[in-house]
Amino acid sequence: MKLLCPGVIFPETITLFGAPVFPEAIPPVLEEKIRQAELMTTRLEKISAHQALFLLKNCLSPPKLLYILRCSPTFSCLPSLQAFDETIRKCAGKIANIAMDDMVWRQSSLPVSRGALGTRRVDQLALPASLASVHSAFDLIKQIYPQVDVNCIVSPAISHWQVKSISQPPILTLRSTQKAWDILIVDQHYQTLLDASSQAERTRLVAVSAKDSGAWLNALPISVLGNLLDDNSFRISVGLRLGARLREPHVCRCKKLVDELGRHGLSCQLSAGRHSRHPALNDSLHRALISCKVPNVLEPNGILRDDQKRPDGLTLIPWQQGKALVLDVTCVDTVEETYLRGSAGQLGYAANKAEELKRHKYRDPDGRYLFCPVAFETFGPFGNEASSLIQ
């Protein structure tokens, strides 16, 4: 600025469209954003937890700072960024009603595609945002001031970024894309979490990072669409996804110990929730087929398995090759002892194993039907046949 405008005196706290022009102006601007975030927290507590987190994730945390992150070198003001993150951390903990300890927060602040909530930390985003912004404006900077060496300007930031990501910078054609810088830092944090996890926690992390496992966090939380979770269901869903403490340890009716993570109920034979999720899945598939103009019935008469139980669904019109489709739905626990070792090394292992068992159990002597086992896991992954059917 001094080279472009010699002799002109600028106040150190000057901003341009809300973005700090000089490094000295960054802390006051961030302090104002922190005050706004604290006010926002008190207001989000008054609405549904599911809707509150959706607004926090998509509108009121990093999105409120992204313009400043891209316009100013805010990564040089780490304490202010961490203070903003701490405010968001407390807000997310209050909304979900879970203990947001360090390990839970580290996972929570990753993208949804990495098994988190998507409430990104701005101290992680500051460097990728600044680097992408400078590279995308490279040609414009050269037009305004041809003598400037942009590579010299970004060199300190790139060195800082390499320390955080333990990677080489993206290729030149991608350096103007924020995701190209961000994803390498994300992958490093995700790998660190995996390396520090036990077998059960590693299995959970891999499962909740599956493509479809976080779809519910991206869906609009609207009651008329059936997408809005009540506060207690939302608390449990978030806690299971993040591996957070959900309840006090106690002994179940089946005489087994229920730990503070509360996962025993996902596979307990006496759990009421374990039985209610089955008709809920059946109903969802039934309504999905109806919306695709495929009439179908639940638990059709006249079609029996070897165990004398009826399958869960039958289409009333041919699905393929002139044959009706028979469906049988199941939901298995990802971290149940039977599947734990296989699930730790293979995504969707438990669901695929359940689909194999269903196909082996089912008998179709006349060859009149097409049979499709539809298996889901409690932590999100679909079986291969379930995924193919839904797609």
Q: Quick one: which of 273, 330, 101 has its CA closest to 264? A: 273
Give the separation between CA 330 and CA 376, rounded to whole angstroms: 6
pTM, to two decimals: 0.86
| Nearest residue to 278 via CA among 303, 301, 312 | 312
Handedness of CA 151, 152, 154, 155 (dihedral sign): positive
Residue 365: predicted pLDDT = 46
Mean pLDDT of the chain: 88
Q: Percentage of the chain with pLDDT > 70?
A: 95
Quick one: average pLDDT of 66-83?
Answer: 92
The 10s digit of each residue's pLDDT in 340-373 is 888 888 889 999 999 998 888 776 545 788 889 9
pLDDT at 257: 87
Q: Are 70 and 22 in contact (CB under 8 A)?
A: no
| Adjacent-strand bridge partners of 16 | 19
Instruction: Kindly indicate the confidence band of residue 23, based on its pLDDT and cuts at 50, 70 and 90.
Output: confident
CATH numbers and ranges of domains, the chain: 15-206 (no CATH), 215-265 (no CATH), 275-390 (3.40.1350)
